[in-house]
Structure 1
Amino acid sequence: MKILALDTTSGACSVALLSNGQLIERFIQAERDHTRRLLPMVDEVLTEAGMKLAELDAMAVSRGPGSFTGLRIAISCVQGLAFSVDLPVVPVSSLAALALGARRAHPEWGRSPVAAMLDARMQQVYWGVYSAESPNDSLITEAVQNPDQVVLSLKEAALPAPVYGAGPGLHYEAFEQAPLAEVDLTSLIRAGDIAQLAIPLWERGTAVSAEQLEPAYLRNEITWKKRQKIRSQ
């Protein structure tokens, strides 16, 4: 399978081509200029592979959660590219990709669960917990919460110990009380991990058309549900 993945969810910009098990990737840690950098990186990766966009089987992108602006940049780019050559798109959880990257960087963590955390601003984090057996599916429903709520949820959850933590969202002081054996605040999302996760999702049949691709903000979804509840009362 040949799949091209893009990501601009957080403080990095990356593009990766996974073709029959071989990975070609470009990764830049930069807070700005994602829009300017992304398409040239796509061209570089495709050129190195000697491949045209139309030869791909699918594209993949982080669906979120994450920065509103960051998500929109990559999603809009993928929509334009996929639509131009009629390619399906596989949406991948940014948190699952963060956890997979941390597990790859820390082989000593073995197959233990990884709690992935992204800073959601306003004293909150986006988070989920991912296992090696089912890396696309959070053991606790992905959510946006304040750190104290996350710590309580981790303590109450029946997760197999030890549990490790990954991501910049773990910088809050409250996480010092979390039942985490070790944390890596430097973990970032990489397009290569999104491509790896997209393969089993593709096999599940979760690909969508470019027009159907939508970001998963979590915060907006919760607000919408609350509004719907108020209106129904």
Structure 2
Amino acid sequence: MKKLQLLAIDTCTETCSAALLVGDEIIANSKIAPREHAQLALPMAKALLAEAGLSLSQLDAIAFGRGPGSFTGVRIGTATAQGLAYGADLPLLPMSTLQALARQGYRLSKCPLQLAAIDARMNEIYLGSYRHLDGDLVPQVSERVCPPQQWQDAITDADATYFATGSGWLAYHQQMAPLPSQVTCHEVDLFPLAEDMVYLSQFAWQRGEAVDAAEAQPVYLRDTVTWKKLPGR
């Protein structure tokens, strides 16, 4: 695999994070600050480039969290990455927050099968299932938004052990219980991180998934939301 220089930014959930891959080394920064992503993302990215002594023009591409996650957070991350990419004439690598969460779960557990669930609000979860293969986290089912009770639809191997991680397991633990013995669920307070995205973006680059900045699209999974007007508003 070619030694790449990649920057990743993620603002899709409560955690704002940035990471820089230079060859085999990753440097990263993150902060749980749900209402400060617009102010934090760009300075985080610039600080990492300064630490590594690199300019944007020296990068191969910029990866960003394309969702799913908070509608506002997904838009902030996409717009920030597009702005940086336009300015430096770089391609973008849209990365899944669920896949990044699964990679974090793998780092912690070394379990090859991962179930990632993010609280989608409105009594739903964003759900994905992944298998660790040659360093990459390969999707086993299509990512989806669904009621928490349907999480078992993501299990593709009834005889294997799974590691479950993400805020969905914490938010809806009663609806998702009882967990079968094959599912270990400990790291429920984790959020996706750019350091996992920048690692996984190497594989996305090799698969030819880089796109022009104008073509980069967020992935919400939930296409429509019905808002109820409060009385007196």
Q: Decide whether the 8 Å contact of 1:93 with 1:136 is kept in 2.
A: no
Alignment of 1:6-85 (within 5 A): 6-85=9-88
What's the TM-score, normalizing by structure 2?
Answer: 0.88
- Measure how far apart 1:195 and its partner are: 0.3
Counting matched residue pairs gives 217
Most deviating of 171-180 and 40-49: 171-180
Letter in 2 for 1:65: P
Q: Decide whether the 8 Å contact of 1:113 with 1:160 is kept in 2.
A: no
What's the TM-score, normalizing by structure 1?
Answer: 0.88
Where does the alignment leave 5 or more consecutive residues of structure 2 unmatched? 225-233
1:158 has 2:161 as partner = no
- Measure how far apart 1:183 and its partner are: 3.1
Partner of 1:113 in structure 2?
A: 113
- Measure how far apart 1:111 and its partner are: 3.6
Query: Deviation digits for residues 95-149 of structure 1, max 9, x if unmatched?
Result: 000010121123xxx3431100001111000010111117443212111000112
Change (3 A) 1:72 1:19: same
Secondary structure of the 1:131 match is: strand
Secondary structure of the 1:184 match is: coil
Q: Decide whether the 8 Å contact of 1:154 with 1:178 is kept in 2.
A: no
User: Identity of paired residues, percent?
Assistant: 37
Partner of 2:176 in structure 1?
A: 175
Secondary structure of the 1:144 match is: strand
Letter in 2 for 1:208: V
Change (3 A) 1:20 1:211: same
Where does the alignment leave 5 or more consecutive residues of structure 1 unmatched? 224-233
Q: Decide whether the 8 Å contact of 2:99 with 2:130 is kept in 1.
A: yes
Secondary structure of the 2:120 match is: strand
Structure richer in helix, relative to its length = 1
CA distance in 2, matches of 1:160, 1:210: 42
Once superposed, what is the RMSD of the aligned Cα atoms?
1.7
Secondary structure of the 1:206 match is: coil
Secondary structure of the 1:51 match is: coil
CA distance in 2, matches of 1:41, 1:140: 33
Secondary structure of the 2:177 match is: helix
